[in-house]
Amino acid sequence: MTTPEQGPDVPLFAPPGADPRRSVPAAPEPSSPFAAPSSAGPASPDAAPASPYTAPAPPYAPPPSYAAPASPYAPYGAPASPYATHPGVAAAHPATAPFAPPVQHARPPHEGVQPGTPHAPGLPDGTSAGSGRRRRALSAVWVVPLLLLALVAGGAGGVIGARLGQDDRLADAGLPAAPAGGGTAPAATGVTAIAADVLPSVVSIEATDAAGVATGSGFVLRQDGYLLTNSHVVASADAPGGSLVVTFSDGRELPATIVGRTAEYDLAVIKVKATGLVPLALGDSDAVRVGDPVVAIGAPLGLAGTVTTGIVSALNRPVAAGDETDTAFINAIQTDAAINPGNSGGPLVDASGQVIGINSAIAQPPSQDGAAGGSIGLGFAIPSEQARRTATQLIETGSATYPIIGVLLDSRYTGEGVKVSTEDVDGQPPVSPDGPADRAGIRPGDVILSIDDRPVTMPDELIVAIRAHEPGDVVVLAVQDGDSSRKVRVELDESS
């Protein structure tokens, strides 16, 4: 059966007796892909009845090929994405239309039509007149279950959506807390107690000059405003136009003046106008042993009130700090407590909270760019006994002296011991006439092997060992002259 808008029906199954190899002409494309078939009248009596096994062409099937419109917003074209694809990352989807054209499905044979009965005229909705009631009845049977299914799916979707949309906020967090009335807090012990006792007496120091600001640490030496620190911390403020500002643990900032300083021991005493300060006690550094626990307190990198812990890792470590014109020779206490730039001048205390050293220097591996680094576990402190003697001199006289033996040492010598120079340096003889060494019989070229049975192999070791004493002390030197060796007693003189 044909209509003005449709071609001959295409048989889905060959009727009985038909030749299955007979070719069937293809239906021509409709004039509009979305045009419904027109209502045609009954077929002519002369026309052959339509096969009961054929189905009409789908009224809404698209044409075989559909060219997408040129517009980027065509129904089957994907609009350009506003986000660029990351370089080197493949697109998540192929560059095809996100929606495929509808697929043409063959309709089943009309129900309610007996074999040999011609099809009723097509209706606008694509059904035949003879099957309308049955289709409506069949649809009614399925409507109720589908509605129930939709309600169940909607309810489940609502529950899932509500759970997904929860923000997990509560009216009361109800976090666990420590029980009330559990008794008094336990007394502070160990490092906690040491820090509580020492921190109020530790200060931060800012030294300002035309070049900028240098920072360091210090601590209260006397209750009437005397503070102890390193000489290199306050050196820039000692120049014309320089200034010092001291910050206490309670936040107070007070200007300070330099009472005295010595580059030879890298120590300085400064003073603020304040009373009632709490001084720290200077302990006995001679009683310190390797392995003793220690605590370093100061303001590394400007971070005031920093507390680090470690042990005494070595004693009598010769350290030469500073430059050629301002060199300090320190018979240092070595510690692995973290000491960084800014810790200089702060206290190194023992387990009782007494000061056994003044943090002064750190060891660092060579740097390619020359930049200063941080702690590598090798820090050095000036022993408290040395600090006590030097601070006393600075407070009483404004300057400090150090002991000497009156010889020049040969830094080029590489053998055992330390060799006395054989040449004058800048007009100064290798052995000072009528000096301590000269009076003890030491001559140019002699080799000093030890001081007080402490072997020395480098000039710095002999210097710091001598400066650990006071002028007037007597030391015993083992001296080698050629093949002979002897021990001599030397009374140390005072530097002029």
Catalytic residue (one of 9, 266, 460, 493) = 266
Answer yes or no: 23 catalytic: no
Answer yes or no: 496 catalytic: no
Q: Are 228 and 358 in contact (CB under 8 A)?
A: yes
Which DSSP string corresponds to 298-331? E-GGG-TTEEEEEEEEEEEEEEEEE-SSSEEEEE
Q: How many Å apart are CA 418 and CA 344, to the nearest integer?
A: 31
Nearest to 285 by CA among 219, 333, 351: 333
Q: Are 233 and 207 in contact (CB under 8 A)?
A: yes
Q: CA angle, 182 as apex, 178 and 188 as ends, to 5°?
A: 90
Nearest to 383 by CA among 486, 474, 287: 287
Copy the structure tokens of residue 443.
């001559």
Catalytic residue (one of 344, 360, 375, 421) = 344
Q: Indicate the DSSP class of residue 400.
A: -
Answer yes or no: 450 catalytic: no
Catalytic residue (one of 232, 410, 446, 469) = 232
Which DSSP string corresponds to 190-211? HHHHHHHHHGGGEEEEEEEETT
Nearest to 282 by CA among 198, 225, 355, 227: 355
Q: How many Å apart are CA 425 and CA 474, to the nearest integer?
A: 27
Q: How many Å apart are CA 399 and CA 20, to the nearest integer?
A: 126
User: Residue 209: beta bridge partners?
Assistant: 212
Active-site residue list:
232, 266, 344
